[in-house]
Amino acid sequence: MKIEKKNVLLASTVIAGMAFSAPAFAQDMGEETGPVEQQNVDVNAEGTPINEVEDIVITGTRIARPNIDSASPVTVVGEEVIAQTGTTRVEDLLNSLPQVTPGQTAFVSNGASGTATVDLRGLGSARTLVLVNGRRLQPGDPNNPVADINQIPASLIERVDVLTGGASATYGADAVAGVVNFIMNTDFEGIQLDASYGVYQHDNRGERDFGGVSIIDSLDARGFEYPTGSVWDGDTLDVTLTMGAGFDDGRGNAVLYVGYREIEPILQGDRDYSSCAIDDEGVCGGSFNSPWATIVDPTFGDYFFGIAGGSDDFSDFGGAGAPLYNYAPVNFFQRPDKRWTAGGFANYEVNDNVEAYAEFMFMDDRSDAQIAESGTFFAEVYNISCDSPLLSAAQGAELCAAIDGVEDAGDDPVADGVVPLLIGKRNVEGGGRNNNLRHTAYRLVGGLRGDITDRFSYDVSAQYGLTDYASFYSNDFSLSRLRQALQATTDSNGNVICADPTAVAAGCVPYNPFQGSGIVDNPEDGITQASLDYVLVPGQVTGYVDETVVQGYVTGELFNIDPMEAVGGLIGVEYRDVGLVTQPDITFQTGDLAGQGGNQPPVEGSYNVTDIFGELLVPIISGMTGVERLALELGYRYSDYSTGATTDTYKILAEYQPIDEVKFRGGYNRAVRAPNVVELFGPVQRGLWNGTDPCSGATPEFTAAQCANTGVTAGQYGGITPSPASQYNGVFGGEPNLQPEEADTWTAGVVFEGGTTLPGFVATLDYYQIDVEQAISTYGAELIVRQCGLTGNAEFCDRITRDPVSGSLWAGQNGFVVDRNVNIGGFSTEGLDLGLSYGRDVGPGRLNLDLLGTYLMEYAFDQGIPADGGDGVVDCAGYVGGTCGFPQPEWRHTLRAAYNMDNGFGASIRWRHIGGVELDEFITDADRGFSGEPDPAGNIESWNLFDLTLTYDVTDDIGLMVGVNNIFDISPPLVPADYGTDNANTWAGTYSPVGRYLFASTSIKF
């Protein structure tokens, strides 16, 4: 027995669950397609019978086998499909698959990590294991240590295998939802240049509305600017050069590649539907941190005064009358990005029993996450003298008299000539907050493999992956410098200076937000460039995450139950060590940056795990009437963590094929995920969460009694101002006492081949159920507030602290919700995957039809604390919103039709369907954490997008391609921020967010 060194060929993987096959089937198989179609279970892509070639290894097991039959449902995406979707960002390809929920994407700016992650079944990126050629891809960011698929060059991908369900027994921890395995082209020979260019185009037609409210009407009512007509932007250039050759009379092979990708930015202000942030009534909202200072009396927590339109006089806003600042246009809709990749794959046959192999991958990725300008954000109370030179005499008198007039009798806060103020001033003079993110990744694999005897083989390898991280933040206010710069006096020469002589000596320049916006020459007239230079400080965080894996295993033929095929066995050991470090500078550590929401302490930690694992492939019966094949696939892994935890994972799978055309498959997997270093030891720090406070506003959603559970006093009820930006204070961080989570995965399915009756047809239907217990997560800050209000349960209520004076959870720093990591009750998801694939010769070419669809039966989480006698379970199948998160439609599919002519011309069209979802407020059961009347305006209708690609093979070595994704320029649905959107009034990762994408590419082989 000899382990196959080459990858599984695409044409052979149809039976492994492929329902997304490549369009150029005839090009893979040549003209002799008829016989091949009829017996594609038993032949490879060249038409050679499987039993005449070396055994192969498929995703889901490490045991080599003589065919591509699999007991696990595996979806395969081939290289032609990848190319014909115009893929330059691998996450865009994966996010179009029905099994995938978007993780970090290029369309995230506020909260962006600069990485791209994959999330199978919506269970979180940490529960999806990413492999390259069957081995782990190292974590890509120390703040979120999961794989960054930016490291994968799209043009080098031979295929992508997506395995549903737990696979921890085979690959170790983290494979809870499944595995995504990128198979790279490691056997390439020749020189090939792949180049592509793409650009987005959108017609700003003003057709988007929410709840019957037109966003254009709302923009006009606010006086906000927005674009009209056609826009072209977001250009993407991707170039990769690949070189490969055999050497030493075919004993060795080496492949080298180098690539460059550049993506231009798109601003939210470049699309009419994202030119303002809408509220839950579809109206353009904004921020009280405006270009003109808004002043709040901290005693009463109400908006009293501001400088309207740059006037020298204060105006009484009366709270709701305050002008709002439109912060949306400055945010990036698509982040700019520059990426270099390089690497190589090599193997060399030392002798008949030893083959050496190596892999090296390098990436340097720089992305820029820009969000709205910083501000003072009412973060601190400033004591301003009534005779401050920053105020005009009229302002000083008016301000002090007005605030004095609303105080209780006998309480004169201005008796000493000083007024306490909360100030909201947007840094329009300094520009948007800018986070320049850099990830530099290295991945090195080396190993030996070969035969021990005719029946047994071995594979021993070591790999090391390192990702260096740097974040440089600019254009943010320093809170400590603002304190000094707002305290001003006049020197003997009449110059306005900072009041503290020590601060003056340190370079302090007065900052005057009280005289309108714009840069002026003198501090008494407003903000000077010198004052801006003083109060704006940069912040930087550096760090790294690395992973070392050493493993070895022996596999071979043990004995025979079925005389036609021996029982395959495998036993091995693995050691894995993961460590990370983040080192914020002093501005981050002290929480000095106003626009960050809190401090960020350093983190350093590591853990290791030692595994012992084994697998068995047990063919029981084959070649009998009614039992063409019956086999079991078994696996077990014992893991010992340095944190003190130990886990057992195992799998029991079966495949039964009564006749050639039909196969039944299914089984059970136990998977685990141990908490990572950040989840365990991440620092407790302040931040912001998006959502709503049901106890805010003049007529709160919750009753007075319910709000009292959350800490609202009778005097505060009905007087708590909601956050205009739907952002509230939170405290987040790690928990050292977290326990590993466990998952039970069940799959059951059937594969049907057309055989001689319907050659070229394959259908798969697979049921999956994944139950995660003791899931490592957070409750969610809004859910904490709602559950506390509805139940009064101390588990939730003890996590809420309201401002003792105003009752606010956002104004100032005294109100917040603690939402640290916990082991919650768990997650569960259940559904059906349908795959259909059909190919046949039609006229002067070949037609291929492929459908991949998922029906979601359940997507639920259990916060573990029953409410009002209920079970505490929220089922989000068919819902979307602040609690359920990303849209979870009951049905999604991708349907693709391709026709490739013998003369080299080809065309394919793809239909992407995303089913409709309802706002999660429709889940009105009290035990599920919601109350009040549901808002049908928050529902999202079914979404349908169509893509077209045209190809032409000029010669065998030159190919051309043009295409357009989202042909009809369908705009994304409008969704308010407090309904849980990830960016720009929509779920940007789910829907095509910025218009149609036109692309052209060429592949030239020398």
Choose the weakest-confidence range: 129-133, 229-233, 292-296, 408-412: 408-412
- The beta strands (E) that lie in 878-983 are given as 879-880, 891-901, 905-914, 918-919, 943-955, 958-965
Distance CA 354, CA 48 (A): 26
Of the candidate ranges 465-474, 647-656, 758-767, 926-935, the one whose mean pLDDT is the lowest? 926-935
Query: CA neighbours within 13 Å on the CB side: how many for 360?
Result: 10
Is the pTM for the entire model greater than 0.75?
A: yes
Cα–Cα distance measured from residue 369 to residue 373, given in angstroms and rounded to the nearest whole number: 12
Cβ proximity of 419 and 383 under 8 Å? yes
User: Tell me, what's the pLDDT at 10?
Assistant: 30
* Nearest alpha-carbon partner for 691 in 854, 817, 510: 817
d(CA 698, CA 704): 12
* Closest to 297 measured CA to CA, from 425, 421, 483: 421
Euclidean distance between CA atoms 960 and 950, whole angstroms: 8
With contact defined as beta carbons under 8 Å apart, do 376 and 594 qualify? Answer: yes
Predicted local distance difference test score (pLDDT) of residue 381: 85
CA angle 124, 930, 176 (to 5 degrees): 15
Task: Reply yes or no on whether the pLDDT at 35 is more than 50.
Answer: no
Among 696, 922, 928, smallest CA distance to 790 is for: 928
How would residue 140 be classed by pLDDT, with cut points 50, 70 and 90?
A: very high
At 216, is the secondary structure helix, strand, or coil? helix
C-alpha dist (Å) from residue 342 to 147, 339, 359, 766: 18, 10, 11, 38
Would you place residue 395 in the very low, low, confident or very high pLDDT band (cuts 50, 70, 90)? confident
pLDDT at 864: 61
Is the pLDDT higher at 297 or at 956?
Answer: 956
Contact yes or no for 676/578 (Cβ under 8 A)? yes
What is the per-residue pLDDT for 341? 97
Name the most confidently modeled range: 122-136, 371-385, 860-874: 122-136
Q: Give the 3-state secondary structure of 427-438.
A: CCCCCEEEEEEE
3-class secondary structure, 391: coil
Asked which of 406-415, 424-433, 810-819 is least confident by mean pLDDT, the reply is 406-415
Domain boundaries, the chain: 10-190+235-265+335-370+437-471+542-584+603-676+742-776+824-1005, 683-734+779-819
**What radius of gyration do the chain's Cα atoms show?**
31
Whether 291 has a pLDDT exceeding 90, the answer reads: no
> Is the model's pLDDT at 415 over the cut of 70?
no
Predicted local distance difference test score (pLDDT) of residue 51: 38
> Can you tell me the distance from the alpha carbon of 865 to that of 11, in angstroms, rounded to the nearest whole number?
50
Mean pLDDT on 644-658: 94
Tell me whether residue 64 is exposed, middle or buried, using C-beta atoms within 10 angstroms of its C-beta: 0 to 12, 13 to 18, 19 or more: buried
Q: Which two tokens stand for residue 946?
A: 């169509």
- Rounded Cα distance, 623 and 26, in Å: 30
Give pLDDT, residue 935.
Answer: 61
Give whole-number Cα distances, 276 to 378, 462, 834, 986, 991, in Å.
22, 51, 40, 12, 19
Q: Is the dihedral of CA 206, 212, 215, 217 positive or negative?
A: positive
Q: Looking only at Cα atoms, what is the longest distance across the chain?
A: 107
Condensed to tens digits (0 to 9), the pLDDT of residues 162-217 reads 998 889 999 998 999 999 999 999 999 999 999 999 999 999 999 889 988 999 99
133-142, 677-686, 952-961, range with the lowest pLDDT: 677-686
Q: What is the pLDDT of residues 39-52, one digit of tens each?
A: 233 333 333 333 34
Average pLDDT, rounded, for the chain: 86
Tell me which DSSP letter residue 215 carries.
H
- Quote the CA–CA distance of 316 and 517 in Å, as a whole number: 18
- Which of 464-473, 729-738, 848-857 bottoms out in mean pLDDT, i.e. has the lowest? 729-738
CA–CA dist 646, 635 (Å, integer): 17
Strands 229-247 and 190-204: antiparallel
Share of the chain above pLDDT 90, in %: 64
Phi, psi of 51 (to 5 degrees): -75, 0
Kindly report the CATH class assigned to 10-190+235-265+335-370+437-471+542-584+603-676+742-776+824-1005: mainly beta
Measure the CA–CA gap between 576 and 562, rounded to whole angstroms: 37
The string of DSSP letters for 470-505 reads EEEEEEEEBHHHHHHHTSEEE-TTS-EEES-HHHHH
Residue 787 DSSP one-character state? H
User: Is residue 114 scored above 80 in pLDDT?
Assistant: yes
Residue 69 confidence class, pLDDT cut points 50, 70, 90: low
**pLDDT digit string, tens, across residues 896-916:** 999 999 999 999 999 999 999
Give pLDDT, residue 933. Answer: 53
pLDDT of the residue at 379: 82
β partners of residue 904? none
Q: Which of 976, 778, 900 is nearest to 283 (CA)?
A: 976
Q: Which of 481, 699, 510 is nearest to 594 (CA)?
A: 481
Note the Cα 222 to chain centre separation in Å.
33
Least confident segment among 46-60, 95-109, 487-501, 572-586: 46-60
Burial-class residue 620 by CB neighbours within 10 Å (0-12, 13-18, 19+).
Answer: middle
CA distance 776 to 123: 11
Tokens standing for residue 377:
């954000």
- Whether 932 shows a pLDDT value over 60: the answer reads no
DSSP letter for 290, please.
B
pLDDT of residue 258: 97
Q: What is the pLDDT of residue 733?
A: 87
More confident residue, 718 or 685: 718
Distance CA 128, CA 398 (A): 60
Length of the chain: 1006
Which pair of tokens denotes residue 369?
Answer: 């996450």
Residue 170 and residue 473: Cα distance in Å, rounded?
41
Can you tell me the distance from the alpha carbon of 79 to that of 184, in angstroms, rounded to the nearest whole number? 10
Here the tokens at position 894 are 């991708």
Rounded CA gap, 87 and 92, in Å?
7
Residue 84 in contact with residue 949, Cβ under 8 Å?
Answer: yes
Q: How far apart are CA 178 and CA 167, in angstroms?
A: 6
Of 551-555, 673-677, 787-791, 901-905, the poorest mean pLDDT is in: 673-677
The yes-or-no verdict on residue 23 having pLDDT over 60 is no
What pairing do the DSSP bridges indicate for beta strands 891-901 and 905-914? antiparallel
pLDDT at 511: 96
**Whether pLDDT at 404 is above 80:** no
